[in-house]
Amino acid sequence: MASLMIRRVRYVGENYVYTSPELKPGLNIIEGKNGSGKTTFSDLISFGLGIYVRQYDRKEREIHKEICGDKDNYVLLEISIDDSKYELKRHLNNNTIFVSDTIGNVESYAVYRSESNPVIFSDWLLSKLKIEVVEIYQGSRKFKINFPDLYRLIHYDQDSIPRKIYKEHRTDNSFIADSLQIRKVIFELLIGHQFSEYHALVGDLNKLERERDTAKSLFNNYIKMAGDMGYDLSKITMDTVNIDLSSSNLELDKLQIYREDRKKLKYNSTQLDRQLIQLRTEIVHIERDYSVCQRTRRNVIVEHKSLLDLKEDIIREVTHLKKIISAHEELNLFSPNTCPCCLKRVERKENHCICGSTIDESQYEKFFYSSEEYLDILKSKQKSVDTIDIGINSCEEEMNEIGRKSLKLELARDNIRAHLKEIEKDISIYSNDNEVNRLNDEILLQKSKIQKLDQQRIILIKYTSLEEQFTEKKEDYNDLFRRITKLESSLKTIIEKQLKLFNVIYNNLMTETADDINKAVIDENYMPIINDGEYKQASTNVPKRFMYYLTLLKMSIDSDIPYPRFLLIDTPENLGIDNENLDRCLQKIVSETRIDVQFQVILTTGINKYPQEFKGYVRETLTEEDRLLKNKKME
Amino acid sequence: MPNKQNLNVKKRIMFNKDEDYYFITYNILVFLDILGCVSEKSKFLDYTKLSYIIPFISNHLLLDLIVDFSQTNHLPNNEEIELLRETYYKSRLKLKLVTSILFTLERNEYIALQKNLTRNTIDIWIRKDKIPESFFNPSLYRIEIEHTKKLREVSPRIRTLTVNTLLDQLFGNKGVTVWQV
């Protein structure tokens, strides 16, 4: 990735000026006593890079008197990014930065993003540093990670609380900009490769999610609204509405044509009379048929009843026969040899009557029966029961048939009677107004039905389009969600690798700097944990933070990460780091770095508050007499 | 053979239940048995009444008319009166037959007949000891037994009342003209 380097810092105003010596790759030390302008030096660099500097904000209470009191003043930074050189010029009280390259092209960029300034200086700088601008959605708000955010891990300042690691965020009520998520993203952006793409996708996903939710609520609200209006959208379909609509239109056309026809029709008495006569004749015919029907029915009922009676009689006779047979067997009183007068037993010659005359047995008029003959009679009676049953059944069928026929006749008669009544009513009005009025009513009804269907159709169209939109958004969202999930897992492995690397360097630096530290790692929020969290002495916070920055720098030198290989350190000894430790750390950085990779560390510090071997890196020495800002008038 | 068949058919056609001797016999025996006329003491006065009683014992339609009338005072309709009238005539005509059957039964000692000089009637009772025990089969004559009991409820004094009173109860008061000779 790219390396950022400050080559020279200049300040020009009506009253004061300053021009730094040329700053070089590697370590640059600006030494000076307290109040001589060391912090002003780093503030000028920050300001020139488009960072908010509170001391230069006239609205603030503690302001930098000389600079804020100066007029027509600006900061000019000569920088290089990799091999390209640029000049950045920013006026005080002005949020525009002019960027000029070596060929003489000058472009101006706003420092802060607004609707009129969609592209700002940060975008330019990040593009040169090959860091993509990442958009992050939090809730409904959109947030872009800008260079000033990344700068929080590039500028080691004096004011921030060491425990918090990150440089204090400008307090402009933007809680989002300092949220844990954003801080994590800043860290990941600086150590990662592909994270920018990921966050861009997450941004897209959030956008899609909101769009999907909007589409969904729009869709649901529409269903509810339609429901309030009395349409159950789940039950009506476009097809049925269209069919209903076309059939209603057809019906309307028919009615209108028929009405026109009726209007033209004049009352015609002959025709009507003929019709009346015809109808009455029909009624007479029907009545006649009906009465024939009823008569037949009565006959059949009588027949049916007598058949039933007969059947009962025979059944009764059968039971009697059984008893007769039994009595015959038990008592054995009578036989053909019994005298019919006295009923006494007589001796009788064959083929002779009891009176003595010859007779054929079959010619007796009075019989006595044997058991066998009684049984024969019984059987024949039982048989006749079956025959009678057939008769009864056919009677019942006939009755049903007659019933159906008379019902039909009744219906036909009623119809004709109703028809006659209608016609008679029409005659009394003496015109066909009645029918035309009825038609008008029907037409009106049909029209309102069509109107309702039309409305239903419109609602349905809108419903379908909303549903489509919602489905589309949902699918888009799901597609992206899948892509992100896939990307996330691959990113996770990358970041784990990077974190491992970070931890190795950090642990190394920390354990070597302080004797009582044996383990230093960062947790899932990328905040340091020393000795597994047991060590709580406040002074550890200083190296903890300092080494964090150094680790990032070293990582950027050792491996290709987006961190711009630039570190601005403002007077670290003020924070209580003992010299020995600081020396050890700094030496570590300078000594162990590779010569082939360009990097820059600018360190402002007290006079001689650095290892003696670093004497050669001192670029400028500030004293009370020779302060940073030179007063033009005094000179 | 055809002759024989013809005879059978003729006999079958000529069969008339109402005039069948056994039909009359078992109805009389069962009726008197249920009424308890088994000795001289409890004899049935005037046997001619039996001829009129038999149709009611054997046909529930007729009996129902009598029972209905006694319970609801509901007068029979024309059709029913016609039925009753027919029954009366037939019974009257059958009287002779019943008489000869009774004499046969008496000769077989199944019943006893006795002249009643005071009422000028012939009274009757059954001699149960002479009748085969297996004859009185309650399940076979269930209907007759039931009808006898019903009739006794309608006319409790049926055993002793005169034939005229009985005829009035059965036919006269239902609108049938009774001419007793």
A9 has pLDDT over 90: yes
Q: What is the pLDDT of residue A85?
A: 92
Mean pLDDT of B29-54: 92
In a domain, A204, yes or no: no
In a domain, A490, yes or no: no
Cα torsion A478, A480, A485, A490 to 10°: value is 160
Residue B44: CA count within 13 A, CB half-sphere: 27
In a domain, A37, yes or no: yes
Domain count, chain A: 2
B181 has pLDDT over 60: no
Q: What is the pLDDT of residue B68?
A: 85
Q: What is the pLDDT of residue A174?
A: 56
Spell out the residues 6+ positions from residue A52 whose beta carbon is closer than 8 angstroms to its own. Answer: A148, A170
Give A129's DSSP letter: T
Q: What is the pLDDT of residue A191?
A: 83
Mean pLDDT of A592-608: 80
CATH of the domain at A299: 1.10.287
Q: By residue range, what is the domain housing residue A331?
A: 269-335+370-431
In a domain, A319, yes or no: yes
Give A23's DSSP letter: P
Residue B32: CA count within 13 A, CB half-sphere: 30
Residue A10 and residue A155 share a domain: yes
In a domain, A296, yes or no: yes
- pLDDT tens per residue, range A151-183: 999 998 888 877 788 888 776 655 566 778 788
Residue with structure tokens 């920390």? A510
How deeply is B161 buried, as exposed, middle or buried, from its count of CB atoms within 10 A (0-12, 13-18, 19+)? middle
In a domain, A470, yes or no: no
Residue A178 and residue A276 share a domain: no
Q: Do A327 and B6 count as a contact with CB atoms less than 8 A apart? A: no
A10 has pLDDT over 90: yes
In a domain, A156, yes or no: yes
- pLDDT tens per residue, range A335-347: 767 776 666 777 7
Q: Could you tell me which of A30, A467, A462, A455 has the C-alpha nearest to residue A248?
A: A455
In a domain, A512, yes or no: no
Q: Which residues of B touch A343 (CB under 8 A)?
A: 100-101, 103-104, 107
Please report the number of interchain residue pairs, chain A to chain B, with beta-carbon separation below 8 angstroms: 83
Q: Which residues of A touch B103 (CB under 8 A)?
A: 342-343
Residue A288 and residue A174 share a domain: no
Domain boundary among A384, A415, A431: A431
Q: Do B8 and A320 count as a contact with CB atoms less than 8 A apart? A: no
The Cα of B153 is separated from the nearest Cα of chain A by a number of Å equal to 23
Residue from B20, B24, B126 whose CB has the most chain A CBs within 10 Å, to mutate: B20
A86 versus A539: which is more confidently predicted?
A86
Domain boundary among A415, A431, A447: A431
Residue A279 and residue A175 share a domain: no
ipTM topping 0.90: no
Residue A172 and residue A278 share a domain: no
- Report the alpha-carbon distance of residue B169 to residue B70 in Å, rounded: 10
- pLDDT tens per residue, range B104-148: 888 888 999 999 899 899 999 999 888 888 888 888 889 999 999
B48-80 as b/e: b if 16+ CB within 10 A: bbbbbbbbbbbbbebbebbbebeeeeeebeeeb
Residue A280 and residue A153 share a domain: no
Question: How high does pLDDT run on average in chain A?
Answer: 83
Domain boundary among A382, A416, A431: A431
Q: Check CB contact of A326 with chain B, cutoff 8 Å.
A: yes
CATH of the domain at A579: 3.40.50
Q: What is the pLDDT of residue A75?
A: 93
Distances, alpha carbon A383 to alpha carbons A307, A311, A379, in Å? 15, 11, 6
